[in-house]
Chain A
Amino acid sequence: MRVAIIGAGVIGLSTALCIHEQYHSLVPSLEMEVYADRYTPHTTSDGAAGLWQAPARDHPDTLWNKETFDYLLGHLGSPAAKEMGLFLISGYNLFTQPVPDPSWKNIVLGFRNLTPKELELFPGYRYFSVRTNLNGTFAFNLPVTNEIVLPRLMQRGVKFFHKKVESFQEMFAQGMDVVINCTGVRAGELQPDPELQPGRGQVIKVLAPWVKHFIITHDIESGIYNSPYVIPGSEFTVLGGIYQHGNWNEENSAQDHKTIWENCCRLLPALQKAKIVQEWSGLRPARPWVRLEREPVRHGHFQAEVIHNYGHGGFGITIHWGCAMAAARLFGSILQEKKLASPPQPRL
């Protein structure tokens, strides 16, 4: 059973890990290969702030978000946590208008609304009937995580290829039985998908170790991610607040830099003395909902399968493990159909 995963961002690598962990002992013939034209630190994931925070909207995705949170929470106390750069962080979500409590309020730890005194910290956000919240959620270091997961997969015998895959057929011609499509924003190059659009973002990474909370502002008018945010990592703090739908440009924009810097310093005056370390732009793989499904593909006389797992927008980190497990379940159903693995028998 030969499996190829296309894409080596957080989605590709976590899907590879999840499937390998679950099936390598059940399927002795399992051979897994990862193909990607970009690896850490050049993937979209590498620019992510790495904060677990689900979008406010209520969505079937919600379960995948919870599964990811619980998975990360379970790893918190482990030695792996430090390697992964995984840690708990508290912070603020600020709104200019009243909003209902988010669907994930019981997933994170200690969700609550801010007190009037705390709102004094954020003057622009108090003149409306504002609700803001503070929660213990996760941040982790994506480049570090990708660097950890990749060697782990290699240790498990997964092979990596630095190569741009031009078509699914190319993979099947090489003898792959299943291809898992984790190509993120450029999935359209393998199979046109008008629902998938780039959501261009730009961030400034600074040194500001005195900032211990994340701050995410929300402005219904500007739209999601287009309002300033400050997210501390274990070493650097990410400043952002740019979302440009349909913009494929991966170059840094001076105008966007100015917008981010001014807005974030206004939000948090303590940032004014922060040292700028890096500027980065990336394309969020935006889609109305994640494409996570099987697609049978005929290749000559032969029935092959593609499992799509892309379109995670700006919340790949938040949802990655839930999606990896869902992809693994789809993989399991493929195996069952091919009678290569039987489901666990009930103990009698």
Chain B
Amino acid sequence: MAAPKVAVVGAGVIGLSTALCIAETCPSCSVTVLSDQFSPNTTSDVAAGILIPHTYPGTPIHVQKQWFKETFTYLFAISNSAEASEAGIHLVSGWQIFKNTPKEELPFWSDVVLGFRPMSEAELQKFPQHRFGQAFTTLKCDCPPYLLWLEKRLKATGVQMYTRKVADLWELHSEYNIVVNCTGIGAHQLVGDEKLFPVRGQVLKVHAPWVKNFIRDGDGLTYIYPGIHRVTLGGTREKESWSLSPDPGTTKGIFDRCCSLEPSLRGAQDIKVKVGLRPSRQCVRLQREVLSQGGVKLPVVHNYGHGAGGFSVHRGTAKEAARLVGECIAALQGSSSRAKL
């Protein structure tokens, strides 16, 4: 089939990186991104974008590790190039600290990040309430810069982007040959996925440029991630909460918890509060499906449900989604050549 028409629904980090991978692996494809929201109004824009993976209970560890490694390698190369600042990618060192020694002292990603090691006694003295810690260097993907950079790369390869609310994937069947569903939390309504649920996160984005190292409590609830212009302070993990309104009590709680880890944050300026709904699932839904009505088929590739780990695995899942799109194209070509017989 000449120039398969692929629609990618969703323009967060997953949608844009998937569209880019498809454009890269299938130069003959015509790729269009459709989304009701673009940066700076996506869930991704709220995220700190730090590369520390979330563990999906339903996905084999070796697969998660492969996704993370691909993402890390890809971003590492960008961070070391002249494009780093525009793309918003930079290295950052810091500490993950635990009040109680974790069951797993070596997480599956410890050999992917750089220089992973246990913290020394002297380093732990900075955190009197914590008894154990890990020090390492990882990457951070600042949003909106990263999404804007992806949009720029997409436009350069001829990908079109339109603001459009897709109410039903089937509505695209007459205009597109293949649909890629990167709608994140939107998939709950769009495809009726009951296994997908929001985990509400509130964060503060503050001006504190003297903070150069990240600090994360191993419980995942308190974290300090310095970005290019702002430091992200977090956070919350509220399962099944759909509220996008900032809560002032939560703001104070986050600020206090972060200041107890890094007292100099008391001097932080220009505090902005943001809320995002992590599109959470036991495992990322990364699979093909064929929708059909009245003999007409529409191949769909799903790539959503990354929860707290979107940035950490985005490139890996985008590549897999692009591979699945390739399979869809081959299947379409196969059936169209059969039709010719």
Contacts and interface: CB of A to CB of B under 8 A. Distances in A.
Contacts, number: 96
A90 B95 CA distance: 11
Given A87-B210, A213-B93, A82 B264 contact: yes
A110 B137 CA distance: 12
Interface in B38-65: none
A271 to B, nearest CB: 8
B114 interface: yes
A188 interface: no
B273 to A, nearest CB: 22
A115 B114 contact: yes
B212 to A, nearest CB: 5
B212 A232 contact: yes
A134 interface: yes
A270 B90 contact: yes
Given A81-B264, A270-B85, A109 B209 contact: no
Contacts of B80: 121, 269-270
Interface SS, A side: mixed
A302 B94 CA distance: 58
B84 A269 contact: yes
A234 B209 contact: yes
Most buried by B among A88, A213, A273: A88
Interface stretch (B115-123, B194-202, B285-293, B308-316): B115-123
Interface in B125-149: 126, 135, 137, 142
A269 B81 contact: yes
A145 to B, nearest CB: 13
Interface string B75-98: 000011110111011111110000
Interface residues of B, number: 37
Contacts of B159: none
Contacts of A18: none
A114 B115 contact: yes
Contacts of B86: 273
Interface SS, B side: mixed
Contacts of B81: 269-270
Interface stretch (A5-13, A204-212, A325-333): A204-212
B205 to A, nearest CB: 14
A338 interface: no
Contacts of A117: 114
A234 B226 contact: no
Given A87-B210, A88-B212, A210-B84, A115 B267 contact: no
B210 A213 contact: no
B125 to A, nearest CB: 9
Contacts of B228: 209-210
A82 B210 contact: yes
B266 interface: yes
Contacts of A114: 115
B84 A110 contact: no
7 contacts: A82-B264, A109-B120, A210-B85, A210-B90, A212-B213, A213-B93, A273-B85
Given A79-B263, A82-B266, A90-B213, 20 more contacts: A77-B263, A78-B263, A82-B210, A82-B267, A86-B210, A87-B211, A88-B213, A110-B119, A118-B137, A134-B93, A134-B137, A211-B90, A212-B93, A212-B212, A213-B212, A269-B84, A270-B85, A270-B90, A272-B82, A273-B84
